[in-house]
Structure 1
């Protein structure tokens, strides 16, 4: 039920609804604003606007975020190129214990990796039903990963449907300082668009993920109990 979604569990909400400027505002209370680098630009997206990255010199930098014991990271993505290459969704700078790397691999499979987790890369993912090959280009998809270091569990959802799950842990995940659409080590730039990238400090259930996917964050929070969502909802509306 939607009562599960507490605005205070939102660590960062990059809705990418700006129309100009070089800042991707974080709509949560945490001021994790992103900075546009290189050729990143605002375009029409899935909900309002989106960010478009060129696969070469464009990404969004984010400040220090985490470590988070439990998290859900979701977003809409539209890939327009670089099939068969590393393509980052959201990678912590560097690569050391607890750092999150969330990306497509050269084999076109999704990877959520946390350095020094057991195993580092969850082994269920090569068996994922989703392959980011040429057939998926220029289409919007929703991807969510829900992780609990306490339960040592992980679940992956494509378009709101459970895609893979398994035992994985035990480290909390550190997301920033990092980049949306690139990695500090280079060579993993995203070519395409992102919209509604939202990070929670809880492992959301499937119905919550589906509701956010179907309605977007604004509309989901608008139907929340009034007092709980009022502050964040008012803030999001002001930022438009």
Structure 2
């Protein structure tokens, strides 16, 4: 019911305003952790109410609104196993997050990881982002080209369907490989750490985590990552879609 109300309000507004967000397939958005609650020991996504339990992370100013800062040693957020909306993506999927690195990375640091062998989005110690699905390691990693800088916001995204797997950095496609169908899974989802074991913690801020049950196009992804025009620091959402989401969460 909440998801239906969210989509209805957004679609009505888009029809009235003629917004470019009409290109976004909002009925395929299955989870969106904005972290704008800004307090407490858990965070619910605003589409289906999927709860992520937070361990030792700090609430801070994010890319848009609030976010979670992780210490790179022990803090993380965890979505438990057996969440129905996250079990199966036969038609493809998209994973997005805004990140800011604020500390050293050992071997690599997990941004968002579904327990092996499903999918992972992470940053290596050479400051290159990488991603994979279905436990496809070795030469099957999607490795970015942009060397990420500390204290700088980047939007990371992984898209996957039967046609292609793609890695994007701040809306620009940086790697592409042959497509696959994502294997079904009921495993936990980790934000800021590996979920198979207590390693590979992320040292920095993670914001605006979204999961879609289709592979967004480049244009759609560039629309989805927008949350307003940032000033010197983080800002509140100002574009039409982000404003509506923010109002519904109140």
TM-score, normalised by the number of residues in structure 2: 0.77
Matched residue pairs, number? Answer: 217
- Consecutive unaligned residues of structure 2, counting only runs of 5 or more, are 1-19, 229-236
Q: What SS does the aligned partner of 1:211 have?
A: helix
* 1:106 CA drift (Å): 4.1
Question: Paired residue for 1:155, among 166, 173, 180?
Answer: 166
Distance 1:18 1:175 in 2: 26
RMSD: 2.5
CA 1:122 to 1:16, structure 2 compared with 1: closer, same or farther past 3 Å?
A: farther
Query: Equivalent residue for 1:189?
Result: 201
Question: Match for residue 208 of structure 1?
Answer: 220
Please name the residue that 2:53 is paired with: 35
Q: Which consecutive residues of structure 1, in runs of 5 or more, have no partner in the other structure?
A: 224-232
- C-alpha distance in structure 2 between counterparts of 1:220 and 1:175, whole Å: 34
**Structure 2 Cα separation of the partners of residues 124 and 36 of structure 1:** 29
Say which of 83, 93, 96 aligns to 1:74.
Answer: 96
Matches within 5 A, 1:96-111: 96=117, 99-111=118-130
Residue 138 in 1 paired to residue 154 in 2? no
Q: Equivalent residue for 2:62?
A: 45
Change (3 A) 1:176 1:12: farther
Note if contact 2:95-2:210 (Cα within 8 Å) is conserved in structure 1.
yes
What is the CA distance between 1:239 and its match in structure 2? 2.4
Cα deviation, residue 122, structure 1: 5.9
1:85 deviates by 2.3
- The whole-number CA distance in structure 1 between the counterparts of 2:156 and 2:184 is 18
Taking the aligned partners of 2:43 and 2:223, their CA distance within structure 1 comes to 23
Equivalent residues of 2:28, 2:214 under 8 A apart: yes
Alignment partner, residue 178 of structure 2: 167
Q: Is contact 1:109–1:125 with CA below 8 Å preserved after alignment?
A: no
Rounded Cα–Cα distance in structure 1 between residues aligned with 2:41 and 2:141: 38
2:105 corresponds in structure 1 to 83
Q: 1:189 to 1:124 in 2, by over 3 A?
A: closer
TM, length-normalised to structure 1: 0.80
Deviation at 1:195, TM superposition (A): 1.0
The equivalent of 2:210 in structure 1 is: 198
- Measure how far apart 1:222 and its partner are: 6.4
Residue 154 to residue 59, structure 1, CA distance change in 2 (3 Å)? same
